[in-house]
Structure 1
């Protein structure tokens, strides 16, 4: 009696999944997108709710402002967690636990120390603008037939230029410098939203929904922070 070398179900699964999301079946693509944007929504809701809680609590604000060591440790922890997430991105549920801790460190290291220095109205404006820009760019990328994968090299080059230019704040600390850097940063991360949205559909595999959600989450957080600084600089002008 002959037996199949490769079980039919295994062959069918490989065909359904393909090598990336774009070549997978419609059902697999839709499941992947649901996972990515569900995880992203949870991260954004958690970030927004926690930031709002911290903004309205003077005790917590004072603690964040007077505890730079906590911010530094959280920043280093977030980098370590990024490495761990890359290693364990296919290990469920470890990847979800790591994702939750990663969001917590990003909150402590970046979001909370930043938003607590701004007026409530400015933070709300930045939140609405970031949401509108993200939805618009996502819709544009999904319906566009252009290949955005070539943007990667240019975007990463611009990001490094932006990081180096940020050191100008130590020598040219002015509203004009802050305005220019914030505007440039917002444009760079608008580009990253387009690039990473294209990437998740064209290059990532259906099992990499954790990685896709992290990429978009970091894009949104950075866009929000740059828009926040931009709005604050415009008000000072």
Structure 2
């Protein structure tokens, strides 16, 4: 018997996978899903605004492209700030409203990082990467909701995706120590895009089935980072084609 909410129909009694949302009312689960997607949408809008400012404002662009000691220090500061904000954000992810404040600060730091990553790319490449990211994320999200309606479960992807991330980290380290040129960068970008596409399915499945209602920050940051990583991976692959 199907259960309805938010215009979509997800069958929660069919199949063998145990899902947390089976003990919730459909309205509560769909309210949670809408809340998470609203947060992710605001994060992406903030990222677009900040990254566009870094890319389009001549003074900011010139400052970072100059590669002076001051600009390099600012670049390192942004990276360190992202990590320093992420740690307490994850520790306090269920404490409102500090979790939202830290989430906002983390989003701003990540947005600056995305803007800096776009500085050396052409505008047309950035638009192409953003368009491809939108299509991929939307398609995989629709597919995952469709699959959840038919009681498909994607929790098995967790160990494989974790192993894939370790491999990507090792490959990235090798690239820094022994650069493999454009071919290596393109391959890395394509493989990264595939891995984080898998994370979109995995994290969306968790959003539908496993996250508790007070874990909206955890769910939002997972999806947000998946989208950002897909965009940066596609951007890297297109830039070196």
With normalisation by structure 1, the TM-score equals: 0.86
Offset, 1:24: 1.4
Offset, 1:149: 0.7
> Counterparts of 1:221 and 1:172 in 2: how far apart (Å)?
24
SS of alignment partner, residue 202 of structure 2: helix
> Counterparts of 2:22 and 2:117 in 1: how far apart (Å)?
38
Residue 237 of structure 2 is aligned to residue 230 of structure 1:
yes
> Counterparts of 2:158 and 2:93 in 1: how far apart (Å)?
22
SS of alignment partner, residue 163 of structure 2: helix
Offset, 1:83: 2.1
Aligned to 1:39: 39
Aligned to 2:154: 148
Offset, 1:172: 3.0
Aligned to 2:124: 121
Unaligned runs of 5+ in 1: 1-18
Task: Write 1 or 2 for the structure with the bigger share of helix.
Answer: 1
> Counterparts of 2:106 and 2:64 in 1: how far apart (Å)?
18
Out of 89, 94, 97, the position equivalent to 1:93 is: 97
Aligned to 2:85: 81
Output one character per residue of 1:43-74: Cα deviation in whole Å (capped at 9) or x when no partner. 00110122122211221112233312222222
Aligned to 2:25: 25
Aligned to 2:4: none
Aligned residues: 215
When Rg is computed on C-alpha atoms for both structures, the one with the higher figure is: 1
> Counterparts of 2:76 and 2:86 in 1: how far apart (Å)?
16
Q: Is the 8 A contact 1:134 1:220 kept in 2?
A: yes
How big is the alpha-carbon RMSD for the aligned residues of Structure 1 and Structure 2? 1.5
Offset, 1:220: 0.4
> Counterparts of 1:36 and 1:172 in 2: how far apart (Å)?
39
Aligned to 1:169: 175
**Change in 2 beyond 3 A, CA 1:199/1:172:** same
Unaligned runs of 5+ in 2: 1-18
> Counterparts of 1:216 and 1:22 in 2: how far apart (Å)?
22
Output one character per residue of 1:166-208: Cα deviation in whole Å (capped at 9) or x when no partner. 1232313311111111110000000011111111222210111
**Change in 2 beyond 3 A, CA 1:115/1:20:** same
**Change in 2 beyond 3 A, CA 1:75/1:23:** farther
> Counterparts of 1:160 and 1:71 in 2: how far apart (Å)?
25
Output one character per residue of 1:64-100: Cα deviation in whole Å (capped at 9) or x when no partner. 3331222222222222222212222222211111111
With normalisation by structure 2, the TM-score equals: 0.85
Aligned ranges 1:6-21 → 2 under 5 Å: 20-21=20-21
Q: Is the 8 A contact 2:51 2:115 kept in 1?
A: yes
Offset, 1:20: 3.4
